[in-house]
Chains A and B, each alone.
Chain A
Amino acid sequence: MSEAVKQKEPLFSPKNKKLIFNPLSKENPITVQVLGICSALAVTAKLEPAFVMSVSVMAVLAAANVIISMLRNTIPSRIRIIVQLVIVAALVILVDQVLKAFAYDVSKQLSVFVGLIITNCILMGRLEAFAMGNKPWPAFLDGIGNAMGYAWILITIAFVRELFGSGTIWNYPVMENLGLYDIGYKNNGFMILPPMALIVVGIIIWIQRSRDKELVEEK
């Protein structure tokens, strides 16, 4: 009887809130869990592709987490990787087709990286670590949270690289309007090149870890 009266857990209980907010800092997928680096670096030369990529990952991750979590009791554990890959691949095909239909230019810029969401380690990592053992609603929140953690890192990197590399923010010519070119400012073309993405991530990790000593690695 007491079980029946037991209050239902509210939708945004403290535990569920943690699922959303922890991945933003303490359990950030990129800087702490080291998942999904490949795409994080390759699409961040400009803000627009970085934003589209984050939204795509969010959609795929949340949906895949929910689907896997609903199927978690029926998937035989020996073939679970294949099942996960197939579900993720189907969702990514959907996202790819939507992008091709409504944002063709961006989808050309992202080129193969939309397809690479399939092997993005965030997906497999979260599906394995969380969705296989939790109910759909927490799994959904976990997906959104991790995608947000991924997104803000991506957008920060893209912001820095676009601002200093091309002197624009979301194609808006900031540096030109500030009149910096007239006094001899030059864009740093190096920022657009791939290696700078790695160094920017390195610096973000450095800042994060010097603020939060718990994350410092043992020697």
Chain B
Amino acid sequence: MQEIFNIFVKSIFIDNMIFAYFLGMCSYLAVSKTVNTSFGLGLAVVFVLGITVPVDYLLNKYILEAGALSWLGEDFAEVDLSFLSFIMFIAVIASMVQLVEMAVEKFAPALYNSLGIFLPLIAVNCAILGGSLFMQEREYETIAEATSFGVGSGVGFFLAIIGIAAIREKITYSNVPAPLRGLGITFIITGLMGIAFMSFMGIKL
């Protein structure tokens, strides 16, 4: 249990998707103009990462890894399909996003209205595929650990995008040098936020 909690905290603060690995930067920059929209996108990312990481974990463990197919019989024990992981993961992500979109539309129309436009965008968000690939590279032991990593990374992204959106709303009132306006200042602020987040690196879990 302790281990699971550690992974959760670590993936939010120390291995933050945005500040430590720059994953999901494109949507982070494009959708962070107001707090409301970034809240929707952040929520959708938490949601989708929480679903796709465990699913990809199972896929990796029972189909792709070296020796993962041994449940099919002796003949398959040697098979190593890990080179297929990119294409399998992206297919799972694209179809899960589609499924989630349909389910949310049917069972929670209110949530769908707030997330709606962001869900399809998420299929091509690097943070989602990155989450699955990091999960594969770090070789988590159980599905619970993988899930807590997925949700934690999502929450990290959520915090980061809300933070930058709040700052950007305020910065429209400031007198930024013209060539730096918009994109440039956003990069520099993100860098400064990243430096702040780096203070968590000292914490050993």
Enumerate chain A interface residues (CB-CB to B < 8 A): 31, 34-42, 81-82, 85-86, 89-90, 92-93, 96-97, 111-112, 115-116, 118-121, 124, 193-199, 201-203, 205-210, 213, 215-217, 219
- Known contacts A118-B86, A206-B184, A216-B181; A37/B94 CB under 8 A: no
Task: Point out the residue from B123, B137, B179, B190 that lies within 8 Å of A198, measured CB to CB.
Answer: B190
Q: Are A115 and B183 in contact (CB under 8 A)?
A: no
The reply to whether A121 and B124 form a contact with Cβ atoms under 8 Å apart is yes
Whether, in the assembled complex, B19 has its beta carbon less than 8 Å from a beta carbon of chain A, the answer is yes
| A34 and B181 within 8 A (CB) | no
8 A-B interface contacts by CB (under 8 A): A37-B22, A37-B29, A115-B89, A202-B180, A205-B179, A209-B180, A210-B179, A217-B181
Q: Is the CB of B94 within 8 A of A197?
A: no
Size class of the contact patch on chain B: 35 or more
Contacts of B20 in A (CB 8 A): 194
User: Residues of A contacting B192 with CB < 8 Å?
Assistant: 195, 199
| Partner-A contacts on B (CB < 8 A) | 19-26, 29-30, 83-87, 89-91, 94, 123-126, 128-130, 133-134, 137, 172, 177-188, 190-195, 198
Interface of B, helix, strand, loop or mixed by DSSP: helix
* CB pair A202 B23 closer than 8 Å: no
Name the residue on A nearest B181 (C-beta). A217
Contact yes or no, A206 B130, CB < 8 A: no
Determine whether the beta carbon of B130 is less than 8 Å from that of A34.
no
Contact A119 B187, CB 8 Å, known A38-B23, A93-B87: no
Q: Which residue of B lies closest to A86 (CB)?
A: B87
- B133 (CB) vs chain A CBs: closest residue: A112
**Complex contact A93–B22 (CB within 8 A):** no
Q: Do B25 and A41 touch across chains, with their CB atoms under 8 A apart?
A: yes
Closest chain A residue to B193 by CB distance?
A195
- Interchain CB contact under 8 A, B181 and A41: no
Inter-subunit contact A194/B22 (CB<8 Å): yes
Partner of A193, one of B90, B182, B187, B198: B198
Bound-state Cα–Cα, A92 to B89, Å: 13
Least distance between B49 CB and chain A CB atoms (Å) = 13
Inter-chain contact A198/B187, CB cutoff 8 Å: yes
> Known contacts A97-B83, A118-B90; is A112 also within 8 Å of B180 by CB?
no
The answer for the CA separation of A42 and B127 in the assembled complex, in Å, is: 13
A203: chain B residues at CB < 8 Å are 188
When distances are taken between beta carbons in the complex, the residues of chain B under 8 Å from A90 are 87
Q: Which residues of A contact B87 (CB under 8 A)?
A: 86, 89-90, 93
Q: Which of B26, B172, B181 has the most CB of A within 10 A?
A: B26
Contacts of B130 in A (CB 8 A): 38, 112, 116, 119
Known: A112-B137, A194-B22. A199 touches B129 (CB 8 A): no
**Neighbouring B residues of A208 by C-beta, 8 Å:** 179
Q: Evaluate contact between B182 and A217: CB separation under 8 angstroms.
A: yes
A63 → chain B, closest Cβ, in Å? 15
Q: What residues of A have a CB within 8 angstroms of the CB of B128 in the complex?
A: 119
On chain B, the residues within 8 Å of A89 by CB distance are: 86-87, 90-91
Q: Which residue of B lies closest to A36 (CB)?
A: B26
Q: Is there an interface contact between B22 and A199, defined as CB atoms closer than 8 Å?
A: no
Could you tell me if B29 and A205 are in contact, using CB atoms closer than 8 angstroms? no
Docked CA distance A22–B194 (Å):
32
B86 and A96 contacting across the interface, CB-CB below 8 Å: yes
Contact of A34 with B129 in the complex, beta carbons under 8 Å: no
